[in-house]
Structure 1
């Protein structure tokens, strides 16, 4: 698909991956309250950040752009690259929905893990994927696992090409890379009960992991990340990179 290739050429060198879907695939697996209000065959793309995004996009962004102090730096970087994608596709109307965006009632505008699953980008493992689960009344949250990056990635945005229809787009199923019941239990327990240690991210052998610097950055409370960047000397007001 031409649009897919074009987007990947724009975003790929900066550490992003894009996966196409029809809006209808997403709507079909969710209650109406979560539906996206576009025709069912509207073309959309899920945008993931790979481990390399930190070095290929985030650090250069810090050196070249002036940060807004009240916005998360990673969110600003992602928004910058999505704006570049829109500029490179001027003939197409693109609605960008970010992972952190909420409706006024605090409901997410897009359930990103569901979007990733139906696009084939990553498998969304949930409690219902474990027959006769052992958790009783406990609340168990699901987690997406990528076949090449395990848990070392993030779902950043959905791009909706609101005027483009893709009725013949073939849906690709996500790769079920954690097929055994026991491993799924371990994954969901690691994610729900021990997520801070990041063990769930290494549920399978991976091609890339976050660097030590990137792990430290994301482990730092958001309110303290600007201080960390200042210490590293990567903010625009610091000496040039």
Structure 2
């Protein structure tokens, strides 16, 4: 199929209609925006003007999509239940909205044979304008000399109470010249605030204080906090106590480990 220039709204509109009611957001980008900020070894192998969409889960996804997913069919072993739910939601939306189109979908937990992630979730979020990716280089005169500080994305409405779940590349669709790259909202403009954010994320991530770096319009429900606070190996037992999983159903901690490396969950 020959590539064609499309209106961004014709792609994001149907996706948002399918996914927003399930607690997801979609943010469009051109592959070139992503590749331009990374070394060639990490670039995506698509034309620079290829249209892509990054998918976020918001706090409401847990109640709107995940718990109904468990109630409706449960989950098989060998894969994290959240990942199974996200995959079902995204693949269903793609099939419904773009039948016959070539759409390459990468999920945040997937790894290449080299053990690198299939895409850098936080970089994609930043260049799409959906969230600001704060890194050590964004701090003037950083106070850390011997410690590497991993970066973290902040959403303008949800703070740290969200996750980056998937990247969709529309192989035969191109963004037009009128598609301008948005600038993500700088939610933490001060040096002091950025130092506090990175230290909270890297040194005290278990208390989740970094997520409240900006006042969120919505945060995780108590049940969702209980789930994500629980070690991945113990989550199947928690879900069984809620009445969602059978005794032989479990989860895979590999995906959770990858998500931690990507800086969200």
2:139 corresponds to 1:121: no
Deviates more, 1:203-212 or 1:80-89: 80-89
Where do residues 26-37 of structure 1 align in structure 2 (5 Å cutoff)? 26-37=34-45
Q: CA deviation at 1:167?
A: 2.9
Structure 2: gaps of 5 or more residues? 1-8, 248-265
2:242 corresponds to 1:232: yes
Where do residues 6-21 of structure 1 align in structure 2 (5 Å cutoff)? 6-21=14-29
Q: Distance in 2 between matches of 1:198 and 1:227?
A: 23
8 Å contact 2:111–2:117 — kept in the other structure? yes
Q: Taking structure 1 as the reference length, what is the TM-score of the superposition?
A: 0.96
Where do residues 79-94 of structure 1 align in structure 2 (5 Å cutoff)? 79-88=87-96, 89-94=98-103
Where do residues 1-241 of structure 1 align in structure 2 (5 Å cutoff)? 1-88=9-96, 89-168=98-177, 169-235=179-245
Deviations 1:64-103 (A, max 9, x none): 1231111100000000001111211203211110001111
8 Å contact 1:62–1:236 — kept in the other structure? no
Q: CA deviation at 1:236?
A: 6.9
Structure 1: gaps of 5 or more residues? none
Moved over 3 A (4+): none
Deviations 1:98-120 (A, max 9, x none): 00111111111100000000000
Equivalent position SS for 2:165: strand
Cα distance change on mapping 1:236 and 1:43 into 2, 3 Å: farther
> RMSD between aligned alpha carbons?
1.0
Q: Taking structure 2 as the reference length, what is the TM-score of the superposition?
A: 0.88
Q: CA deviation at 1:2?
A: 1.3
8 Å contact 1:63–1:236 — kept in the other structure? no
